[in-house]
Amino acid sequence: MRPQSDFVPLSLRQGVPMGRHLLTGAVLVWFGLLILFPLFGIARETLNYSWETIRATLHSPASVHAFWMTLSLTVAAVMINTVLGTISALVLSRQRFFGKMLLESSIDLPFAISPVVAGFMLILLFGPNGWLGSILERVHVKIVYAFPGMLLATLFVTMPFVIKEILPVLREFGAEQEESAAVLGADNWQTFWRVTLPSIRWGLGYGVTLTIARSIGEFGAVLVVSGSIIQKTQTATLMVHDQFTDLNYAGAFSAALVLALVSFVILNLIQYVYRRKGEN
Amino acid sequence: MLSNRASAGLRPASAMVMRAIFLFFVGLLVVLPVVAISLEAFRSGFGSLWKQISHPQALAALWLTLRMAMIMVVINVVTGTATAWVLVRNRVPLRGLINALVDIPFAIPTVVTGMMLVVLYGPHSVLGALLGRHGVEVVFSRPGIVLALLFVTFPFVVRAVQPVMMEMEGDMEEAASTLGAGRMRTFFQVVLPTLLPAILSGAALSFSRALGEFGSIIIVAGNIPMRTQVASVYIYGEIESGNPGGAMGLSVVLLVISLLTLLVLNLLQQRSQRHAATI
């Protein structure tokens, strides 16, 4: 047997090593075909177009506006999720009240519900004939087919990330340290900034990173509530879809490549924050 | 009373304000929309709901969604477990990079995923032409749906199984093989039962994601009624054509399946926690 530095279970050491190599090979081939191939494909496809074409389509007013929309939605979703998500997790971990269990399990719902159904529910609620929509219509507040509706859709699909990431951390380290801080005379804010936040910051960071990725990539829910109006409610992913179905491939692939590159940056961020989270 | 105040760690007033903010956030975003659709569905009546669901096109879309999701889950369970196994146990070149790239489907927009598959398997691509000559159509066809689902759900099983595998130190396997169990027997009687809750919860997550997947499928498979139209695409079509009543039927079905999947997932997680507690 070859000497090996790390422990290898006996069941793997005995018998033919052939099987192990075959398994590794099979997994690598599958991974390459399923994940890597498509990634290269989109880069190669975009390179079919001249640099000038790519630049021109990305600089068109519609494209600039679409990326701006995506950025605004992402920033707003991150800010709201950071503040309200942290408060929600604090309430769930530190308070007891009637119906808490039910509300806590309802936080899982957005991950299980189809984005299209999520958008549909928002239309039922906030559309011109909807429950709240008809009331808001009277005071001239437009939700559906406008930014607020798109933000609600983005918030719906991203809200579990922050809460789910920091809730277990808050539960684990418990209220003892916060209580000690309070006994020692710290007020609520001091306790939060100096005791609570430092312990949850990497969990929060991880939740925020996932929120960014999902906000940029969200398509179905935003499509349903926005109507994808060019230069008004069209986000980057909506533009990619519209241009692709309109056979405007240069535009679609240029924007898709930008989005793919952004996701690589986010992937690195996810890895980095995840490692830091594990260290704490 | 003292313990209550201490556990809140806050003055009652601030605790109440925070609770109100929480109730507003979760209530407005999740509870109210679900209540709205349930009441709307209830108001339209069971008869009309059933008529919507049993419409041939809706039924075909639902059936296609379930079938494609099932096929994906079976493939994903095998390949996901194998990937996790290889990443944890075997020496793989570029393991760190591959491990990081497992998450790429979470980071990349689904519309972009759909376009990548079209580039790769479309009729104008080398691979697509080759497959086409053998009568296999991927784009605007069902294999494309399965491929898109496999891509977007790839991380679920891997990431569910990986941590459990890392905790399995191998001593159980060693014991089994010392006692004379063969490799196959060790795997099926020792390794698999330990991994099963994690595999199943990965499968449940993949399945529920697949039922709702929209962006990648609408690009790869298009919207051909009775052939490539899945449930979410059908619902979208009904909303777009100004027929919210038609969207209601399948929405309710998807919602109920989501709730059931969530329930199963919670039970699985409780079981695996109890299992971990007994070890």
Q: What is the pLDDT of residues A132-170, one digit of tens each?
A: 888 888 888 889 999 999 999 999 999 999 999 999 999
What pLDDT sits at residue A220?
Answer: 95
Amino acid symbol at B84: A
A211 min Cα distance to partner chain B (Å): 10
User: Tokens standing for A158?
Assistant: 């991203």
Residue in B120, B186, B235 closest to A41 by CB: B120
CATH (domain of B253): 1.10.3720.10
Examine the domain organization and report whether B26 and B64 are in the same domain.
no
State the pLDDT at residue A165.
93
Across the A/B interface, how many CB contacts are shorter than 8 Å? 291
Homologous superfamily in CATH for domain A58-279: MetI-like (1.10.3720.10)
CA distances for A58 relative to A51, A53, A67, A178, A217, angstroms: 11, 8, 9, 50, 18
The answer to whether residues B163 and B262 belong to one domain is yes
Nearest-angstrom CA–CA distance, A4 and B244: 63
B29 min Cα distance to partner chain A (Å) = 6
Q: What is the residue-wise DSSP string for A42-55?
A: HHHHHHTS-HHHHH
A70-100 confidence digits (pLDDT tens): 999 999 999 999 999 999 999 999 889 998 9
- The total domain count for chain B is 2
At B225, which helix (H) or strand (E)? Answer: none
| Per-residue pLDDT at A164 | 93
**DSSP string covering chain A:** ----SS---HHHHSS-THHHHHHHHHHHHHHIIIIIHHHHHHHHHHHTS-HHHHHHHHHSHHHHHHHHHHHHHHHHHHHHHHHHHHHHHHHHHH---TTHHHHHHHTTHHHHS-HHHHHHHHHHHHSTTSHHHHHHHHTT---TTSHHHHHHHHHHHHHHHHHHHHHHHHHHHTTHHHHHHHHTT--HHHHIIIIIHHHHHHHHHHHHHHHHHHHHH--HHHHHHH---TTTT--HHHHHHHHHHTT-HHHHHHHHHHHHHHHHHHHHHHHHHHHHHHH-
Nearest to A243 by CA among A72, A36, A49: A49
Structure ipTM? 0.89
How far is B187 from chain A, CA to nearest CA, in Å? Answer: 9
Q: What's the domain range around B35?
A: 1-44
Looking at the fold, whether B127 and B244 belong to one and the same domain comes out as yes
At B137 the pLDDT is: 84
Chain B residues whose CB is inside 8 A of the A182 CB are 9
**Could you tell me if B76 and B138 lie in one domain?**
yes
The residue ranges of every structural domain in chain A are 58-279
* Helix (H) or strand (E) run with residue B170 in it: none
Each residue's pLDDT tens digit, B136-171 = 888 888 999 999 999 999 999 999 999 888 888 777
Mutate to test the interface with B, among A12, A88, A120 (most CBs of B within 10 A): A120
B40/B82 same-domain check: no
Among B18, B88, B108, B125, which would you mutate to test the A interface (most chain A Cβ atoms within 10 Å of its Cβ)?
A: B108
* A218 and A263 Cβ atoms separated by less than 8 Å: no
The beta-carbon neighbor of A94 closest among B7, B109, B169 is B7
For residues B7 and B65, state if they share a domain. no
Residues B32 and B134 in one domain: no
Intervals of chain A under pLDDT 70: 1-17, 280
What pLDDT is stored for residue B3 in this prediction?
40
Task: Give the up-direction half-sphere exposure of residue B173: CA atoms within 13 A in the CB hemisphere.
Answer: 25
User: Which chain B residues have a beta carbon less than 8 Å from that of A111?
Assistant: 205, 208-209
Same domain, B32 and B56: no
Q: Residues B9, B140: one domain?
A: no
Q: Inter-chain contact B115–A97, Cβ cutoff 8 Å?
A: no
Q: Dihedral sign, CA of B198, B200, B209, B35?
A: negative
Predicted pLDDT of residue A8: 53
Selected residues 70-99 of chain B with any CB under 8 Å from a CB in chain A: 79, 82-83, 85-86, 89-90, 92, 98
Q: Are residues B15 and B71 in the same domain?
A: no
**Dist. CA A231–CA A260, nearest whole Å:** 22
Taking contacts as CB-CB distances below 8 angstroms, the residues of chain A near B58 are none
Mark the ranges of chain B whose per-residue pLDDT is less than 50. 1-8, 279
Residues B5 and B63 in one domain: no
Copy the structure tokens of residue A149: 């509706």
